[in-house]
Chain A
Amino acid sequence: DIQVTQSPSTLSASVGDRVTITCRASQSIGDWLAWYQQRPGKAPKLLIHQASRLEGGVPSRFSGSGSGTEFTLTISSLQPDDFATYYCQQYNSLRYTFGQGTKVEIK
């Protein structure tokens, strides 16, 4: 099975900071990678799919890049609403693996 490793597990940042989260797959997955945001007690929300395609309604400060085994999620200017936990997910042939998560905290 394909594993995905996310880093860092926790990130402390301030409003306005540029933030980058990394996800590494155990084998090449092309661009079949998604990023989700999850707030406490809520379902995950899709932000980015196919590595770099922004989901409708998601602010443009979120962007994704990468292919193969290395991927990044970038928030260009952190806003108060962005303090949450972020997960990457590989999806390949209707099999799915989530990363361990990155909690973005207020510095």
Chain B
Amino acid sequence: EVQLVQSGAEVRKPGQSLKISCKGSGYRFSNYWIGWVRQVPGKGPEWVGIVYPGDSETRYNPPFQGHVTISADKSTATAYLQWSSLKASDSAMYFCARVKDDGDCFGSWGPGTLVTVSS
């Protein structure tokens, strides 16, 4: 069974850095793209970016490019989403999700990590 376990809720001040994680199990981690999705409470999901753990290739949604960094460590089967300088507008729930075996939509999701940025 595919499982994605995400790190716990985080509270930071504007300007601080943060790295959240998503650990995969139950499948060959290196072989499947893992995406990150942001959702502000009461709003629809937004795709942030995606990483292929096998070779660390990444692709970003343009509005997020340059503000976040997505990475993966296949030795620990963990994907990461990080910020070097958070803004209040980064406050949201962040989900990781794995693409399906037979298509590129997201068939398996983590439970989400709530990020709160407040002074």
Contact = CB atoms under 8 A, between A and B. Distances in A.
Are A and B part of the same complex? Answer: yes
A105 B8 CA distance: 31
Interface residues of B, number: 23
Given A1-B62, A43-B111, A98 B44 contact: yes
A34 B37 CA distance: 15
Contact of A45 (B33, B45, B109): B109
B24 interface: no
Interface string A44-78: 11100110000100000000000000000000000
Q: What DSSP secondary structure best describes chain B's contact surface?
A: strand
A99 B50 CA distance: 19
Interface string B87-106: 00000000101001001111
Contacts, number: 57
Contacts of B105: 32, 34, 46, 49-50, 89, 91, 96
B74 to A, nearest CB: 18
Contact of B59 (A46, A95, A100): A95
Interface in B9-28: none
A98 B33 contact: no
Contacts of B37: 44
